[in-house]
């Protein structure tokens, strides 16, 4: 038996979706809900982790019959396989009168097609991490509610705690982490934390590194927390910029799998986090960077303005492109990077002062985005209460079985 069935990434996965699910489940557990996490990232067995039941994904009607939840929450982009396959099935359609369904959905664009709109509407309610994302829906805005993504801010505060000599042995892991941070502190001029995915603009980060080398008249270094294998051929891009501009610069791929408590070590290696993308719905690396006292630049997307306000600097995006899944994305260009090079140079040159200023806003960020907050609880209650009031999916004329599969 369960109160809430959450379908999506695994609660322990370090991805953005995994983190969003983790803090949501922890908060639901704190509120007294029994939670089951059904995921495609585990096989076969049912087990407990942090008091959350985790099981492999199967037919959604079978999961509902097995765990008998009051609510089903689908976390992620509803147009991405395998979520789209599930939403397209008669098994999902059968839940309309059986259980309250919520799509906790994200899209990173500035427009969506009618078909994408249709996928978001295959539930009783939609929750979004920023209301700016809801502006592009064509259905009743009263069926959309804010449920922000949250974070465990304690992870980022504890590395600054003073460990008394008598407590060193008990806190050896923290002492070791503090020593590792001090050894590598601000050793890279800029950094970027992202999967090697088309939407993550590694080309712009490498270009910014080259341009900073020109402006600072020294070799600039970049830390890329990613993998070399993926959409972007990092070596080819770096080689092309060197060939075009004859300007040397240094970049390093960091594919170490950081534990949650080690995240401050990742971000404190950077003087600036240059988070250049074609759009974001929340951008965990940005908030984690700020909580690590590392300033951040992020693409100027309406959701980013809503979430981060004056806490960050913005990379302009002068173009838009249409993705093959029917979403329009902002598209920053090399010229857009040129527009912020002077500002980026200022942050690198005065990184100690900028880091100190960023540290001063941590309490403000924590008050708004720590998962333990009362505001988080109120948002969850509001979404669940609104779902309870609905008898039908948002769109009752949805044609199931369209088999929309473009994103793998």
What domains are defined for the chain? 4-150+371-388 (3.40.50.2000), 154-369 (3.40.50.2000)
Q: How confident is the model at residue 132 (pLDDT cuts 50, 70, 90)?
A: very high
Between 47 and 173, name the one with better pLDDT. Answer: 173
> Average of pLDDT values for 384-396?
93
Q: Residue 296 CA to chain centroid, in angstroms?
A: 15
What average pLDDT does the segment 237-256 reach?
Answer: 95
Would you tell me the crossing angle of helices 362-369 and 284-291 to the nearest 10 degrees? 140
Predicted local confidence at residue 400, as pLDDT: 45
Residue 386: is its pLDDT beyond 90? yes
Listed in sequence order, the residues at least 6 apart from 153 whose beta carbon sits closer than 8 Å to its beta carbon are 291, 362, 365, 366, 369, 370
* Total-model pTM: 0.93
Distance CA 284, CA 298 (A): 11
* pLDDT for res 43: 59
Q: Which residues contact 205 (CB under 8 A, 6 or more apart)?
A: 190, 192, 222, 224, 274, 276
pLDDT at 399: 47
Amino acid 44: pLDDT: 58
- On whether the CB atoms of residues 280 and 298 are closer than 8 A, the answer is yes
- Please report the pLDDT score of residue 401 as a whole number: 46
Q: What is the pLDDT of residue 79?
A: 81
Query: Which tens digits make up the pLDDT trace of 177-208?
Result: 999 999 999 999 999 999 999 999 999 999 99
Kindly state the average pLDDT of the residues 260-265.
Answer: 94
From CA 108, how far away is CA 301, in angstroms rounded?
A: 9
Tell me what pLDDT residue 395 has: 84
Average pLDDT, the chain: 92
Q: State the average pLDDT over residues 58-77.
A: 94
Q: What is the pLDDT of residue 407?
A: 32
Q: 327-356: per-residue pLDDT in tens?
A: 999 999 999 999 999 999 999 999 999 999
Which range is least confidently modeled, 17-21, 60-64, 156-160, 397-401?
397-401
For residues 82 and 84, give the distance between their C-alpha atoms in angstroms, rounded to a whole number. Answer: 6
| pLDDT mean over 109-122 | 92
Rounded Cα distance, 73 and 3, in Å = 11
pLDDT confidence of residue 40: 84
Question: Per residue in 82-94, pLDDT tens?
Answer: 888 999 999 999 9
Q: Which of residues 326 and 51 earns the better pLDDT score?
A: 326
In this structure, of 55-59, 349-353, 366-370, the range with the lowest mean pLDDT score is 55-59
pLDDT of amino acid 166: 80
Residue 201 CB contacts under 8 Å (≥ 6 apart), including other chains: 276, 277, 278, 299, 332
| pLDDT attached to residue 402 | 46
Question: Which pLDDT belongs to residue 403?
Answer: 40
Tens of pLDDT, residue by residue over 274-323, are 999 999 999 999 999 999 999 999 999 999 999 999 999 999 999 999 98
Task: Kindly report the three-state secondary structure assignment for every residue of the chain.
Answer: CCCEEEEECCCCCCCHHHHHHHHHHHHHHHCCCCEEEEECCCCCCCEEECCEEEEECCCHHHHHHHHCCCEEEEEECCCECCHHHHHCCHHHHCCCCCCEEEEEECCCCCEECHHHHHHHCCCCEEEECCHHHHHHCCCCHHHEEECCCCECCHHHHHHHCCCCHHHCCCCHHHHHHHHHHHHHCCCEEEEEECCCCCCECHHHHHHHHHHHHHHHCCCCEEEEECCCCCCCCHHHHHHHHHHHHCCCCEEEEECCCCCHHHHHHHHCCEEEEEECECCCCCCHHHHHHHHCCCCEEEECCHHHHHHHHHHCEEECCCEEEECCCCEEEEECCHHHHHHHHHHHHHHHHCHHHHHHHHHCCHHHHHHHHECCCHHHHHHHHHHHHHHHCCCCCCCCCCCCCCCCCCEC
| 76 vs 324, residue with greater confidence | 76
Q: Which residue has the higher pLDDT, 35 or 42?
A: 35
Residue range 103-113, pLDDT digits in tens:
998 899 999 99
Please report, rounded to a whole number, the percentage of residues in the chain having pLDDT higher than 70: 94
What is the predicted pLDDT for the residue at 45?
A: 61
Percent of the chain at pLDDT exceeding 90: 79
- Give me the pLDDT at residue 405, please: 34
């Amino acid at each position: 038996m369960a109160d809430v069935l959450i379908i999506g990434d695994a609660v322990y996965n370090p991805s953005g979706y995994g983190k969003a699910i983790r803090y949501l489940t922890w908060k639901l557990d704190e509120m007294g809900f029994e939670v089951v996490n059904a995921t495609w990232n585990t096989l076969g067995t049912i087990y407990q982790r942090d008091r959350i039941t985790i099981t492999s994904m199967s037919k959604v009607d079978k999961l509902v019959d097995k765990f008998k939840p009051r609510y089903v929450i689908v976390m992620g982009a509803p147009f991405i396989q395998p979520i789209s396959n599930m939403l397209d099935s008669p098994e999902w359609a059968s839940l309309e009168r059986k259980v309250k369904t919520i799509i906790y959905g994200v899209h990173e664009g500035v427009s969506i097609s009618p078909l994408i709109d249709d996928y978001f509407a295959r539930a009783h309610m939609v929750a979004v991490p920023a209301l700016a994302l809801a502006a592009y829906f064509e259905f009743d805005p009263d069926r959309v509610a804010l449920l922000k993504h949250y974070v465990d801010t304690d992870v980022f505060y504890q590395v600054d705690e003073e460990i008394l000599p008598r407590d060193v042995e008990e806190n050896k892991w923290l002492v070791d982490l503090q020593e590792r941070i001090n050894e590598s502190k601000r050793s890279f001029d800029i950094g970027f934390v992202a999967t090697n995915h088309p939407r993550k603009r590694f080309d712009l980060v490498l270009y910014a590194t080259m341009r900073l080398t020109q402006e600072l008249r020294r070799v600039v270094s970049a830390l890329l927390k990613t993998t070399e294998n993926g959409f972007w051929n990092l070596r080819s891009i770096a080689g092309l910029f060197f060939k075009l501009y004859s300007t040397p610069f240094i970049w390093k791929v960091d594919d170490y799998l950081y534990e949650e408590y080690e995240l401050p070590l990742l971000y404190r290696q950077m003087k600036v986090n240059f988070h250049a993308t074609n759009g974001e719905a929340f951008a965990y690396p940005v908030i984690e960077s700020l909580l690590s006292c590392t300033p951040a630049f992020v693409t100027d997307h309406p959701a980013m303005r809503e979430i981060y306000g004056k806490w960050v600097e913005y990379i302009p995006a002068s173009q838009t492109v249409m993705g093959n899944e029917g979403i329009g994305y902002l598209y920053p260009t090399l010229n857009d990077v040129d527009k912020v090079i002077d500002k980026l140079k200022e942050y690198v040159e005065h990184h100690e002062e900028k880091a100190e200023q960023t540290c001063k806003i941590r309490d403000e960020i924590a008050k708004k985005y720590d998962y333990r907050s009362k505001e988080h609880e109120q948002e969850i209650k509001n979404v669940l209460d609104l779902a309870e009031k609905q008898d039908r999916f948002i769109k009752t004329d949805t044609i199931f079985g369209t088999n929309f599969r473009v994103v793998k």
